[in-house]
Amino acid sequence: MAESYIDFGPMGMLVPIFLLGVLYGLQYRYVITRTRHLMFAFGALPVVLKTASEYGLTVVKVLGSSITTFGVFLVAFFLIAPYLYRIIQNPLSIKRDESQRSVESIIAAAEVRLKLLKASRKLEG
């Protein structure tokens, strides 16, 4: 921000700061309105907008890191978030099927053992 003051003066420095604010506002609006998974959006917004709190850096670094972070967020959001969302919505879906099968197999094995035990007792008695 200091470089804006040096380059453009006290009134002209407000233009780059305003444009950065517009960029952050557009990023925020996009993340909140265009996503189906708001839980991930609210979790990612502090990371995406972290560069807004870095006052000591040059505008080039702030702008570059902001655009890069937002790009990485978009890629991760469209590739990873749907998968994670399914896991969170139904956390034991895979394990539940396997555990259900294992419970059914245990019950079936117990029934077979019980029948064998009854049959052996009939033979003995």
Three-state SS string over 17-45 comes to HHHHHHHHHHHHHHHHHCCCCHHHHHHHH
pLDDT at 22: 92
CA 110/CA 63 separation, integer angstroms: 66
pLDDT at 91: 62
CA-wise closest residue to 86 among 31, 30, 39: 39
**Tokens coding 38:** 């708001």
Question: Tokens 């570059």 appear where?
Answer: 64
Radius of gyration of the chain (CA): 30
What is the full per-residue pLDDT of the chain (125 aa) written as tens digits?
Answer: 677 778 888 888 888 889 888 998 998 888 888 777 787 888 888 888 887 777 777 778 888 888 898 898 888 888 888 888 777 777 665 555 555 557 777 778 888 888 888 888 777 76
pLDDT at 101: 58
| pTM for the whole structure | 0.60
For the chain, what are the domain ranges?
A: 2-91, 92-125
Question: Tokens 């003995």 appear where?
Answer: 124
